[in-house]
Amino acid sequence: SVPLGYFGGLGAASKNGILFKGASYLDEITKINTLVMDKTGTLTKGVFKVQEIETKEIEKEEFLNYLIALEKKSTHPIARAIVEGTTSSQNFSVEEVKEISGKGLEGKVNNKKVLVGNAGLLEQYKVKFPAVINSIVDTTVLVAIDGIYAGYVTVADELKEDAKKSILELKNFGINKILMLSGDKDSITQKVAVDLGIAEAKGDLLPEDKLNEVEELKNQLGRKVAFIGDGINDAPVLAVSDVGIAMGGLGSDVAIETADVVIQTDQLSKILMGIKIGKSTRNVVW
Ligand code: ADP
Ligand code: MG
């Protein structure tokens, strides 16, 4: 049976928008010494805005018709930003859409084979693109039509207001390793890490790379690893970590289902609050 003190702890947490999927996680979270964090939607707001559009040998209007038609089939925050931040003049037909996890989309738009995603996606399909793409600081969405590079759109996201402060407080509290992982460009990932005071960060990762990182950490003696993420891609990592924490605001249903703890308010300060509630619950129980 579950000691009475746990119910108090679970209740206090839920009043603060921290949903523990069982009393055992209230205990587990107090043992966490390693925090692995996703970037987009976790440390950043996950609400992208279109910055720049550049096309190559195609009218911008035509380019956008292809891009928007395909992005309408995706629920990714980048896709939503593009659909909301640009306009199409024609509704092209879309067939055979395939989501390439951590990279983008492939589909038949207006009977042409279209790719929309990052540099890794175009490389996978052996589509050549200008090298200058790699030096753009914002997140870059590349487009290829029938195997030919057609241009790019850049999108940008903002840091969450409480991110820097929350990281500092977690470090001061004794979390001895904080690692940020992202499927976004490594250059952006490193910049965000510096801005937030996170010592270790890795970008250009596929969902399975994130999984490997967390599994490797878990295998290190004495490490208790929490993963904090939001996206649909994060479900496997949430499941494998000692404590999987999902940001509930924009988070996908799959991530929320897989997580052990859901932070409904999306605030990073709730991580430390959850740990503190766990600790005070322990003190009551024992
Ligand atoms: P993160 O780890 O930051 O959550 P994801 O794994 O969701 O990132 O995506 C990694 C990268 O793949 C994105 O930064 C983007 O470049 C590209 N990408 C994924 N889905 C899409 C999409 N629907 N449209 C454009 N680009 C996409
Ligand atoms: Mg994601």
| Complex confidence, ipTM | 0.97
* pLDDT for the residue numbered 3: 59
Ligand 1: residue of 98, 114, 118 to mutate (most ligand atoms within 8 A of CB) is 118
What dihedral angle (degrees, nearest 10) is formed by the CA atoms of 194, 197, 198, 204? -20
Does residue 154 contact residue 140 with C-beta atoms inside 8 Å? yes
Q: In this structure, are 183 and 275 located in the same domain?
A: yes
Task: Give the start-end residues of each E strand in the chain.
Answer: 18-20, 34-38, 49-55, 94-100, 104-109, 112-117, 139-145, 148-156, 177-181, 200-202, 225-229, 243-247, 261-263
Q: Tokens in use for 219?
A: 């295998």
Cβ(55) to ligand 1 under 6 A?
no
CA 25 to ligand 2 center in whole angstroms: 23
Q: In this structure, are 147 and 180 located in the same domain?
A: no
Q: In this structure, are 164 and 280 located in the same domain?
A: yes
Q: In this structure, are 167 and 128 located in the same domain?
A: no
Cβ(74) to ligand 1 under 6 A?
yes
Does residue 63 contact residue 143 with C-beta atoms inside 8 Å? yes
* pLDDT for the residue numbered 161: 93
The three-class DSSP label of residue 197 is coil
Cβ(139) to ligand 1 under 6 A?
yes
Tell me the pLDDT of the chain (286 aa) as tens digits.
455 577 788 999 999 999 999 999 999 999 999 999 999 989 999 899 999 999 999 999 999 999 999 999 998 999 999 999 999 999 999 999 999 988 999 999 999 999 999 999 999 999 999 999 988 989 999 999 999 999 999 999 999 999 999 999 999 999 999 999 999 999 999 999 999 999 999 999 998 999 999 999 999 999 999 999 986 678 899 999 999 999 876 666 777 788 999 999 889 999 999 999 999 887 776 5
Q: In this structure, are 143 and 32 located in the same domain?
A: no
Ligand 1: residue of 42, 45, 75, 76 to mutate (most ligand atoms within 8 A of CB) is 76
**Tokens 């001895």 -> residue:** 176
pTM here is 0.88
Question: What span, in angstroms and rounded, lies between the C-alpha atoms of 60 and 50?
Answer: 14
In CATH, what number is assigned to the domain containing residue 203?
3.40.50.1000
* pLDDT for the residue numbered 224: 97
CA 24 to ligand 1 center in whole angstroms: 33
Q: In this structure, are 263 and 124 located in the same domain?
A: no
Task: Kindly list the catalytic residues.
Answer: 38
> Around ion ligand 2, which residues have CB less than 5 A away?
231, 233
Does residue 260 contact residue 245 with C-beta atoms inside 8 Å? yes
Considering 101, 124, 156, which residue would you say is the last residue of a domain? 156
Q: In this structure, are 36 and 168 located in the same domain?
A: yes
Considering 121, 156, 191, which residue would you say is the last residue of a domain? 156
Q: In this structure, are 245 and 174 located in the same domain?
A: yes
**Tokens 């932070």 -> residue:** 263
CA dihedral sign, ordered 197, 201, 207, 210: negative
CA 183 to ligand 2 center in whole angstroms: 7
In CATH, what number is assigned to the domain containing residue 143?
3.40.1110.10
Q: In this structure, are 181 and 276 located in the same domain?
A: yes
What are the C-alpha distances in Å from 39 to residues 71, 230, 241? 21, 9, 17
Q: In this structure, are 176 and 275 located in the same domain?
A: yes
**What's the domain count of the chain?**
2
* pLDDT for the residue numbered 26: 93
- Nearest atom of ligand 1 to the alpha carbon of 74: 23
Cβ(180) to ligand 1 under 6 A?
no
Q: In this structure, are 76 and 189 located in the same domain?
A: no
Question: What span, in angstroms and rounded, lies between the C-alpha atoms of 198 and 191?
Answer: 10
What are the C-alpha distances in Å from 50 to residues 38, 53, 161, 192? 22, 8, 20, 19
**Domain coverage including residue 103:** 49-156
* pLDDT for the residue numbered 246: 92
Name the residue with the closest Cα to ligand 1, atom 15.
Answer: 118
Write 55-60 long-range contacts (CB < 8 A, 24+): 55/150, 55/151, 56/130, 56/149, 56/150, 56/151, 57/150, 58/145, 58/150, 58/151
Q: In this structure, are 40 and 83 located in the same domain?
A: no
Considering 156, 179, 211, which residue would you say is the last residue of a domain? 156
What dihedral angle (degrees, nearest 10) is formed by the CA atoms of 226, 232, 233, 235? 40
